[in-house]
């Protein structure tokens, strides 16, 4: 089973974070705006400098070039990046189909990226990350741009894929109802520390 280990990680205001995350388990992170949730995800993805050690199974983060690390430890930011004109050009090889839960018609791969709404971009960015089969998914508010009807549908799909692919998942969420539905563990950022939240989230 995949394990991601954080030992004495300090990034921004956060200090000395120790965490062990296991495949197939969803760990939610919450905390006030600006408390450092995205910054912690970026540190784990080797996108921001930090102190302390991050290790994926036996591989220390520093022993692998950043782009190769991120193939395994993949972050899906709230605002995803798109670099080609057509949606399908971001998927190599093109997927056989798009899961129904994401709510797209069959021709979505032929759509120009410029027509995508923020919610469509977010759903396609999640799909793009999952088809690349990383070992770790760092999800920054993955349903932030979705309407009520889609939130639970996308959540359920994500949850099923995470279990099926045994992914290690850190999921930043603000909505306590969502945390209740998806989290196996929940930590809140409080000042410079991560605080475990037990029972009723």
Residues of this chain that interact with ligand ATP (CB under 6 A) are: 12, 31, 33-39, 48
Instruction: Give least dist CB 49 to ligand ATP, A.
Output: 8
Q: Of the two residues 177 and 190, which places its CB atom closer to ligand ATP in the complex? A: 190
What Rg, from alpha-carbon coordinates, does the chain have? 17
Residue 41 CB, shortest distance to ligand ATP, in Å, is: 8
Nearest CB to ligand ATP, comparing residues 40 and 116: 40
Exposed e or buried b per residue across 122-145, where buried means at least 16 C-beta atoms within 10 angstroms of its C-beta? bbbbbbbbbeeebbbbbbbbbbbb
Output 36 or 142, the one with its CB closest to ligand ATP.
36
CA atoms within a 13 Å half-sphere pointing along the CA-CB vector of 82: 25
Beta carbon nearer to ligand ATP, 113 or 144: 144
Buried residues in 21-43 as b, exposed as e (16+ CB within 10 A): bebebbbbbbbeeebbbbbbbbb
Q: Which helix (H) or strand (E) holds 104?
A: none
Tokens representing 158? 């994500």
User: Least Å distance between CB 127 and ligand ATP?
Assistant: 22
Whole-number minimum distance, CB 157 to ligand ATP, in Å? 23
């Amino acid at each position: 089973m995949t394990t991601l280990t954080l030992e004495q990680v300090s990034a921004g205001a956060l200090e000395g974070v120790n965490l062990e995350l296991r495949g197939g388990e969803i760990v939610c992170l919450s905390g006030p705006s600006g408390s450092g949730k995205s910054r912690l995800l970026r540190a784990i993805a080797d996108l921001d400098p930090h102190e302390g050690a991050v290790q994926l199974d036996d591989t220390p983060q520093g022993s692998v070039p950043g782009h190769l690390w991120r193939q395994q430890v993949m972050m899906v930011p709230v605002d995803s990046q798109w670099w080609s004109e057509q949606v399908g050009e971001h998927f190599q090889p093109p997927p056989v189909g798009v899961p129904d839960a994401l709510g797209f018609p069959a021709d979505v791969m032929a759509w120009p990226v410029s027509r995508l709404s923020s919610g469509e971009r977010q759903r396609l960015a999640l799909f793009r990350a999952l088809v690349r089969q990383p070992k770790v998914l760092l999800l920054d508010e993955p349903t932030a741009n979705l309407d009520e009807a889609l939130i639970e549908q996308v959540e359920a799909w994500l949850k099923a894929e995470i279990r099926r692919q045994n992914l290690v998942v850190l999921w930043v969420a603000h909505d306590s109802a969502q945390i209740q539905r998806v989290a196996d563990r929940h930590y809140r950022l409080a000042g410079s520390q991560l605080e475990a939240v037990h029972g009723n989230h």
